[in-house]
Structure formats: structure tokens, C-alpha cells
Structure 1
């Protein structure tokens, strides 16, 4: 398996690539090429082109959740030839906002089912569990078992002219089997990275070897970060590639770790498993 970061807030050694607030991975297995998230806009596709990623070779397109920094680049990939089905959780196209007092800012994906239908694109929904192919799965409907993993109140939905707290019921992750355990790919982990991993472990009953993606720990204090890493070690996780919304403090604390292998996956960086 090979995981390549197509878009991230930072870039690696390939300095011709663009870095912006967003996330996109290409996951290559022996069977398939999977585009997981799409960045915020055109830059993610531009990076993919420079990384020699052909749209005709993508078998699955996965949207982890409907925020712009993960979904907004999808129309650009479609414009450049991406035609495979789009897999998302339920509610991917809802009106998502960040709200601070009277002011609200639209954070949604910027397209909808009608836009997809007009272009003949297939949309498939993962309602908790979906097997893409043997050894590759999508998981959602995460159990909220760790009470300290709370979603910031500023994240809201606009429904029927009213504001509602966004529970991120649309968020999904990808799980891939491996000889040494499972690998989990996450987008932003709004429901909580431990809630996600606990749900995955309960569903499959297998060890989790590695976790890659965003954790939304950028607003967490040092104590919560250390508790999170300790619980991950208790689960058997040995390799971490956190990026995007994970925060500088998490990186600093991981640099002190002796039991967890870790790296930052900036745009253009890849890892072989």
C-alpha cells in the first residue's frame, strides 16, 4: 500500500506543489487507486497532475465529510476527468457553517446532488458501514464513547431556517486490512479520533496498526493530546501520520514520543506500508 498526500496545509520537499488549508490523499493498494478527499479547490488537482496521478486510474472517490477544505476541490477533479462514484456519509450536502454570535460563514462543499446528476455522476452513501472491495471498507456512525472529545459549538447546520449543532453524522473514515493490522485514514475526526478508532476496533475486532489524516486536535490542550496518544498506544497503534487540522502542539508532543513512530505528511509526501 502507498499513501500520497495530494493536498495539506504544508508541503514536503516537492516545492512546486501548492499547500493550502485542506486535505487530499491518494491511496494505492494492489487492487485499486482511491482518492480520499479533494482539498478546497483547484490547487489539489494541480498537485495531482504534478504528482502524475491520472483521473482515469481512480477507482473510488471518498468524501470524509462535507466541509469545503475536504470537498471543495471535487468539481475540479471532475472537470479534469474523474468519473468514478463518489462515496460519502449521509448528510454530506447539508448547509454547514461556522457561527460566531450573529455572524456565520458557509463551510459546505459548494455543490449538491443536482449538480452531480446533471453531470451523470453516481453518488453512493455509506450509512455506517460499506465494503468497497475485499480488505477495504468505509465506516461511519461513530459511537461517542469518549466524553472529552467534544465538537466545538461554532460548527452548525442550517435546517428549515433554524440553526442546529453539527454532530458530523456525515463523517466517515476508510479502513484497510494489512498483514500487521489495519490502517485507518481519517479526514478531520470531528466526532473524535478516539471515538473513530474505538468504533473501528469494535466493528472489526482487529488491531489497528496505523492512522493517517487530520485529528482536529489543534484546539486541544496538552493534557488531552497526551491522553489521546496514550489511549492510542493502548489500542496497539504504532504508526501515526497526522497532518492538516492536527495542530503544532500535537507535533511537538509526538516528537517526545518513544513508543509511536510518527511523521508529518505534507503535500507530495508519501509512505509505503
Structure 2
């Protein structure tokens, strides 16, 4: 099995400064003949980048949205408007909850999707809601949900809320899903934002599969990590001897510097336009 992951859009610009970057994430994943789009950024500009990179988004088998925040789902409308919509959509349970962020300590700002269930129905897009702990797309392509939360230093951010019956309740991110590919070298783990804690996610995946992790790609939400959390995260990654760290988006500058210092060439910031190869060789 060969795996190639191309970052269609991300916070940081590409090396040649010819692509569009934005606060968000969208990954184009090729697993042999399977074509998967994991998240869609916030604006839909990932489509322009795909065109420049000569990636055909009409050939998608699946679109997977890691959670219902605008910077991961916001580009879906433009994808639907600009492709033949031959894909199947996969989201977590609770994906369509109304999500908000508390700003200035008192104001709630809408932080969720720019489409609803009706939009999916109107455009005849098949949709799968992940409710189980582990869902097999194929024998080697897995989606995880319902993560165990037993890492003491990983605490949910208290700025995120769901609006329900005109009340704001803390968002527990039960909609968060993670894509995992079984590879000869180990598991390739593809993250959206890791709101439930990147170590909680990795521990759960290892426990459920009994397999080692080879590569991690995506957002780790270490942007607000204190010294204790960052140290604990680095210790876990070292203890599990993870060979490829390709984190970005919500990882943050401080965590990025620490990861670079601790892991050397094992860590590469996965900016816009970057490609990751995990081959059988």
C-alpha cells in the first residue's frame, strides 16, 4: 500500500508562495486507488490550490469532515458547487450541532458549519454518521470516534460551546472523528484539530488496534498548551517511537519550535502544498 497526503490548504503559505493559505485545513489523501478529501478549510480556496496542483476533485470517493468548525467544513459548499458530487460524506455524530466560541469573556460568536442537513439532502449527497467507536471504510482504512479521555494534562478548551434550546453548553466534541490507515510500517493517523486531546486520541487508537503508530498528520491543538501538557505530549511521542510527525494548523508556534528541537528531521511542519509519502519500500 502506498499513501500520499497533499495539504491543499493550511495556515502557512507554500514554499514557492503560489498557493492560497488560510486559517484552516484540507488534506487530499491517495491510498492506492482510493481518493479521500479530509476537511475543506474555511473558504473553499483549497479548490483553486487543487487546480494548481493538478488534483482532480471530481474523482473523490469520500469527503470526511473531522468536526463541525468553520475552518474545517467551510469549503464544502464550494466543493459541491464545483464538482460532480460523486463522493460519500462521512461526519461524526453531532456534526450539525450549532457551535459557538466565547470571545471577550461574554460574547458568543458562531463557529460552526455554513450548511445544514437540508443542504446535503438537496444535493443528493450520501452521508454516513459515525456513532460507533471504530468504523471500517475498508479493511485498512478506519475511522475512530468516541475517544477515551484519561490523560490528566489534556483538558477541554472552555471557550467552545454548543447552542441548544437557546442555552449555551460546553462543547465536548463528541463529533470529532479521526482517519487511520493501516500500513505495513504502522498506522498513519490523520487528525483534524484534536480538540479531545491528541494523546487521548493516540492512546485510544493504539488500545483499539493493538498496533504501533508510524505517522501523524494534521492539527494537534497544542496552540494553547502549557509547559506540563507540551512536556507530556513530547514524552508520549518519544515513548511510542513515532517515525513521522507532520503536524500543523492548530499546533501553534511554541509547540512547533519544541517539536522541531526534540525530534529533528522526524518533525516537519505540514504547510500548504506539502506532500507526504508513506510507501511500501
TM-score clears 0.5: yes
What secondary structure does 1:133 align onto? coil
TM-score, normalised relative to structure 1: 0.97
Match of 1:79 among 81, 84, 96: 81
RMSD: 1.3
Q: Which whole-Å CA distance do the structure 2 matches of 1:263 and 1:121 have between them? A: 35
Q: What does residue 95 of structure 1 align with?
A: 98
Q: Which whole-Å CA distance do the structure 1 matches of 2:197 and 2:165 have between them? A: 27
* Displacement over 2 Å in runs of 4+: none
Equivalences, count: 273
TM-score, normalised relative to structure 2: 0.94
Q: What does residue 224 of structure 1 align with?
A: 229
Q: Is the 8 A contact 2:260 2:268 kept in 1?
A: no
Q: Which whole-Å CA distance do the structure 2 matches of 1:259 and 1:145 have between them? A: 29
What secondary structure does 1:174 align onto? strand
Match of 2:118 among 105, 114, 122: 114
Residue 105 (structure 1) aligned with residue 109 (structure 2): yes
Q: Which whole-Å CA distance do the structure 2 matches of 1:191 and 1:94 have between them? A: 17
Q: Which whole-Å CA distance do the structure 2 matches of 1:183 and 1:72 have between them? A: 25
Match of 2:203 among 198, 207, 222: 198
1:236 to partner: Cα distance: 3.0
Q: Which whole-Å CA distance do the structure 2 matches of 1:48 and 1:38 have between them? A: 11
What secondary structure does 2:247 align onto? strand
- Per-residue Cα deviation, 1:69-104 (whole angstroms, up to 9, x for no partner): 000001111111133111010011110000133311
Q: What does residue 176 of structure 1 align with?
A: 181
Which structure 1 segments of 5+ residues have no match? none
